[in-house]
Copies of this chain bind each other. A is one copy, B any other.
Amino acid sequence: MAEKKKQLHLTAFMRPVSLHTGAWRYPGAYADANFNIKHIISFIQSLEAAKFDAFFMADHLGVLNMPLEALKRSHTVTSFEPFTLLSALSQVTSRIGLAATASTTYDEPYHIARRFASLDHLSEGRAAWNIVTTGNPESSKNFGREEHVEHGERYKRAREFYDVVTGLWDSFADDAFPRDVESGVYVDPDKIHVLNHKGDELSVRGPLNIARPVQGWPVIVQAGQSEPGRQLAAETAEAIFCSPRDIDAAKVLYADIKGRAEAVGRDPDHLKILPAALIVVGESVEDAREKRLKLDSLVHYDSAIASLSIALGTDASKFEPDELLPEDIPETNASKTSRESVINLAKKDGLTVRQLASRLGGYAGLAFVGTPETVADELEVWLNEGAADGFTITFPFLPEGLENVTKRLIPELQRRGIFRSEYEGTTLRDHLGLPRPKNRFFS
Contact of A121 among B35, B108, B119, B205 (CB under 8 A): B35
What string of 1s and 0s marks CB contacts (under 8 Å) between A61-95 and chain B? 11100001101111101111101110111111000
Most buried by B among A31, A71, A187, A208: A187
User: How many identical subunits does the complex contain?
Assistant: 2
Q: Which of A136-144, A244-252, A388-396 contacts B (4 or more CB under 8 A)?
A: A136-144
Q: In the complex, what residue of chain B is closest to A68 when comparing beta carbons?
A: B189
Contact of A78 among B32, B71, B144, B209 (CB under 8 A): B209
Q: In the complex, what residue of chain B is closest to A141 when comparing beta carbons?
A: B205
Complex-state Cα separation, A88 to B37, whole angstroms: 12
Q: In the complex, what residue of chain B is closest to A123 when comparing beta carbons?
A: B88
Q: Which of A109-117, A259-267, A330-338 contacts B (4 or more CB under 8 A)?
A: A109-117
In the bound complex, residues from chain B placing their C-beta under 8 Å from that of A122 are 37, 80, 84-85, 88
> Does A177 count as interface, using CB distance less than 8 angstroms?
yes
Taking residues whose C-beta sits less than 8 angstroms from the other chain, chain A's interface range is 35 or more
B142 touches A80 (CB 8 A): no
> Does A408 count as interface, using CB distance less than 8 angstroms?
no
A115 CB to closest chain B CB (Å) equals: 5
> Does A254 count as interface, using CB distance less than 8 angstroms?
no
A74 touches B186 (CB 8 A): yes
Most buried by B among A144, A172, A204: A144
Complex-state Cα separation, A235 to B228, whole angstroms: 48
Complex-state Cα separation, A184 to B111, whole angstroms: 39
> Does A206 count as interface, using CB distance less than 8 angstroms?
yes
Complex-state Cα separation, A56 to B88, whole angstroms: 17
> Does A363 count as interface, using CB distance less than 8 angstroms?
no
A63 touches B207 (CB 8 A): yes
In the bound complex, residues from chain B placing their C-beta under 8 Å from that of A79 are 209-210
Complex-state Cα separation, A108 to B60, whole angstroms: 15
Contacts A/B (CB < 8 Å), 14 sampled: A32-B179, A35-B177, A61-B110, A72-B185, A72-B188, A73-B186, A77-B186, A77-B192, A78-B211, A81-B115, A83-B115, A84-B119, A88-B91, A108-B143
For the A-B complex with A77-B207, A80-B122 known, give 17 more contacts whose Cβ atoms are closer than 8 Å: A25-B184, A32-B179, A37-B121, A61-B110, A62-B209, A63-B209, A69-B189, A72-B185, A72-B188, A72-B189, A73-B184, A74-B187, A77-B192, A78-B209, A81-B118, A85-B87, A146-B203
Question: A residues bordering B, Cβ < 8 Å?
Answer: 24-25, 31-32, 34-35, 37, 60-63, 68-69, 71-75, 77-81, 83-85, 87-92, 106-108, 110-111, 114-115, 117-119, 121-122, 138, 141-146, 172, 177, 179, 181, 184-189, 192, 202-211, 298, 300
